[in-house]
Amino acid sequence: MSRSRALTRLRWLARHLEKPVLARARRPWLHRLRTEPMARLLLRGRKPLAYRSETIGGVACRVLKGGGGTVFYVHGGAFILFSARSHQGLAARLAQPFGFDVVLPEYARAPEAAFPRALDEVTACYEAVAAASVGPVILAGDSAGGGLALALLHRILHRGLPLPAAVLAFSPWVDLTLSGPSIAANAKSDPILPANAVTMVRDMYLQGGFAEDPEASPVFGDFANGPPVLIQVCEDEILLSDSQAMARRIEGTGGRVTLQVLPEGLHAFQLFLGWIPEADRALDACDDFLRQILLSAPSSPAT
């Protein structure tokens, strides 16, 4: 299927306007001032959403009430950018077909907070959500948030916490050793992520932590007896290898995984739902994946 004009325009804008800025970014606070308002405007979805602020498990969250289950969404942004508010549109779209609640934790970002504080906060929030949910919990995230979601899944399995019914990961960053070959191979083809900035961003997050720790790099985790996982990634991203290695790891440790490698697109393009048809089609595939699982899922999180 040929690329839509909308995606072609978006890729051009990303390559010529956003990627050069990201490659030079050195001050996270200044970069947040630029990206957060833009993200909230462009990624909010097509209709107003009645989100409210709550504290869950000691963590500030954005919450949208539905009923019957919960989408627990961990926002991306290289561990340093964006917020729960910037990703409200995508999280609501995942929940809408099933009438679920939405919870987006406002976890502490780097460099102000070092690893593993973000994961600790996401875990505390998830535990409280899972304990209170009257239906299945869907764990989801994009980019660094997808990596945090999968690190959380590893921690859930390791600690015997309530299981989510399924996990959705969009272009997850899961290997902080930066050993994936696509970081170099796709450095030019990736229209938005600058390969020369990933080491700096990784170090802002880890701050002396070990990249090989599965709670930092879930690609080294153990996913035996875990729930089904869907990973979506584009073939020309620098993080393509991360998704491929993650899928192999889940399968190799006894987990269940579906990897969908999409034609050339944009990192975490699902955020642009309603703007590009490729995002809408990818999210339709998520709906199909979740429907198959939820038909046989228990009415509350399994232990």
pLDDT 10s digits, 42-96: 766 556 689 999 999 999 999 999 988 999 999 999 999 999 999 999 999 999 9
Cα 280 to Cα 273: distance, rounded to the nearest angstrom = 5
Would you say 83 and 75 are in contact if contact means Cβ atoms under 8 Å apart?
A: yes
Q: Is domain 5-294 in CATH 3.40.1190.10, yes or no?
A: no
Cα 32 to Cα 186: distance, rounded to the nearest angstrom = 26
- Predicted confidence at residue 34, as pLDDT, reads 74
- Predicted confidence at residue 303, as pLDDT, reads 36
Percentage with pLDDT > 70 across the chain: 94
pLDDT 10s digits, 189-239: 999 999 999 999 999 999 999 999 999 999 999 999 999 999 999 999 999
- Predicted confidence at residue 300, as pLDDT, reads 42
Split at pLDDT 50, 70, 90, the class of 38 is confident
Q: Give the residue-averaged pLDDT of 266-293.
A: 96
pLDDT 10s digits, 149-179: 999 999 999 999 999 999 999 999 999 999 9
- Residues identified as active-site: 143, 237, 267
CA distances from 54 to 10, 64, 79, 125, 144 (A): 34, 10, 22, 11, 23
pLDDT 10s digits, 289-301: 999 999 875 544 4
**DSSP reduced 3-state for 102:** strand
Distance spanning both ends of the chain, measured CA to CA = 42
Q: Is the pLDDT of residue 277 over 70?
A: yes
Split at pLDDT 50, 70, 90, the class of 40 is confident
Split at pLDDT 50, 70, 90, the class of 114 is very high
Determine what percent of the chain falls in helix, strand and coil, rounding each to the nearest 5: 45, 15, 40
Q: Give the residue-averaged pLDDT of 1-30.
A: 87
Cα 107 to Cα 83: distance, rounded to the nearest angstrom = 8
**DSSP reduced 3-state for 260:** strand
